Amino acid sequence: MSRARGRQLIAYANKVYGVGDEVAKIPDPRQDPDVPLSLISSTLLVSGLLRVRSLNALEAELEKAWFAHAVGAEAPVEGSRLFSAETVSRQLVKMGAEGPRPMLEEVIHKAERNKVFREGWHGALRHAAIDGWEPIRSNSRHCPHCLERTVTVGEGDKKHEVTQYYHRCVVALLLGEHEEVVLGFESHRTLEQRRAAGDKSADCHEGEETAAIRLVERLRETYGRWIEVIVADGLYANGPFLSTLDRLGFGAVIVIKKDTDEPLREAHNLWAGKPPNETVEDKEAGEFIELWDCKELQTLSTFKGPVRVTRAVVHPLDPEDATEPKQWCFVSIGVAARKLTARQLLKVMRARWHIENTGFNQWTKHWPFEHVFVNNWRGMEAVFGFLFTAFNLLQLFLYRQVKGYARLKGKDPTKTIISFVAKAREDLVAAHGGPLDWQAAAA
């Protein structure tokens, strides 16, 4: 692998996706600041690309010449630093999620204009998985925007209840064979935030489904019609959420688990005693799949329109494999989803786990998403915006520019990214020369 990967990554982010221009657009309410907000923002983005794990760790980097050059600045005088971590903290709180959000979205827009996602995936469609995620929780530290719940801690006679503080958000991840990128996120609002936003009837913290509705509305408004199918777990298998997706023009593939719920109960009645509509022998995956499919059910009273219900039972193909068969049931709606075969629907539904593996598990184990950079959720939302943008840029660079390297590391994007980030950092540390160009956006 080329030794110049760190410099290539930053040049790629600027020349192809114009992130230098985007960080310069983040509004700065200060008058004649000593430190330009664009420099603070480029610092946060590079911190994300190199997965710097805290503001304390960042402060140590701000003293180093190589880091200053990486963010587009002259090296600080020996014994000083570019600026302090406290300066970063203050600006994070001021900008909130709306600071880096346009940059996150513009990277997706430019990737689409560059035809990165033009071919789609299963059924030549573009699928987005949404799911709730709880990156931060604490039994002691909290901020004004923390959600709260009571949990039991300890064992035996020492068992007692405490107040736990946490933050949750709903994330949308574009699913694909290689380039899986974050499309957006929405935080659960506290009761006070809901009322401040105009919901005077609110009497509790916001639930996941409400935040998810706000997210899918933002996806449609931001990205237009090129996202076609929403993929989600059983929490979302209800009329109000399906009606929202239908109103917005999305197709949907959503897990359904309760046999007593309509329309699954009606589908079971229709399937009773009947052989599967289709069987598939997948030798590559070592599976034998039975598929039942009901395409035009009208039994969901809270949703106006036909609902398709599909059941899949997956058996191990090897007769010596003692693994129990696995069963999935899921509903689908919308013109786009109706184009998919039952086998394609199963593949899409199973791909929903990518948001756990490519997303949540990787971010929890190998990224600093769980670290509280600043004890204020507005500031943490800003951190998330920069981290998600960095994640997307790494995904796009690896699978568009370093294809051979990605294949050598196998199909696990986590291992690829871990190794690449280490090499990128080594390159930037060893590089000689002046500041890198952060304004070299393509025309």
Give the DSSP letter string of 8-54. Answer: HHHHHHHHTT-HHHHHHHS---SSS-SS-HHHHHHHHHHHHHTT---
- Residues pairing with 169 in the sheet: 133, 187
Same domain, 394 and 337: no
| Residue 87 within a domain | yes
Q: What is the mean pLDDT of residues 338-347?
A: 94
Do 245 and 328 have their domain in common? yes
Residue 83 CA to residue 208 CA, distance in Å, equals: 38
Contact 248, 226 (CB under 8 A): no
User: Is residue 284 situated within a structural domain?
Assistant: yes
Phi, psi of 168 (to 5 degrees): -125, 155
Tell me the pLDDT band of 158, cut-offs 50, 70 and 90. Answer: confident
Cβ contact 12:400 at 8 Å: no
Is 56 within the bounds of a domain?
yes
* pLDDT (average), residues 4-33: 94
pLDDT of residue 335: 92
* C-alpha to C-alpha distance for 174 and 214, rounded to whole angstroms: 17
| Ramachandran angles phi, psi of 231, nearest 5° | -115, 130
Predicted confidence at residue 435, as pLDDT, reads 94
- Structural domain span for residue 62: 5-101+374-430
Is residue 406 predicted with pLDDT exceeding 90?
no
Q: Do 414 and 324 lie in a common domain?
A: no
Q: Are residues 424 and 327 in the same domain?
A: no
Q: How many structural domains is the chain composed of?
A: 2
d(CA 220, CA 227): 8
User: Is pLDDT above 70 for 405?
Assistant: no
Residues 346-369, mean pLDDT to the nearest whole number: 93
Q: In this structure, are 9 and 69 located in the same domain?
A: yes
Above 60 in pLDDT, residue 244? yes
**pLDDT above 90: residue 314:** yes
Q: 334 and 381: one domain?
A: no
Q: Over the chain, what is the mean pLDDT?
A: 92
Q: How confident is the model at residue 403, as a pLDDT?
A: 64
Flag whether 354 is in a domain: no
- Residue 365 belongs to some domain of the structure: no
Nearest to 398 by CA among 388, 387, 381, 411: 411
| 323 lies in the same domain as 385 | no
| Residue that wins the pLDDT comparison between 201 and 61 | 61
Q: Quote the pLDDT of residue 201.
A: 85
Last residue of a domain, one of 345, 365, 397: 345
Instruction: Tell me if 441 is assigned to some domain.
Output: no
pLDDT of residue 407: 44
Residue tagged 């503080």 (tokens): 165
Q: Are residues 332 and 408 in the same domain?
A: no
Task: Enumerate the β-bridge partners of residue 133.
Answer: 169
227 assigned to some structural domain? no
Q: Is the domain of 341 the same as that of 378?
A: no
What pLDDT digit, counting tens, does each position of 68-125 carry? 999 999 999 989 999 999 999 999 999 999 999 999 999 999 999 999 987 788 888 9
Q: 340 and 242 share a domain? A: yes
pLDDT of residue 353: 92
Q: Confirm whether 55 is domain-assigned.
A: yes
d(CA 182, CA 67): 26
The answer to pTM > 0.75 is yes
Same domain, 37 and 76: yes
Same domain for 272 and 338: yes
pLDDT band at 404 (very low <50, low <70, confident <90, very high): low
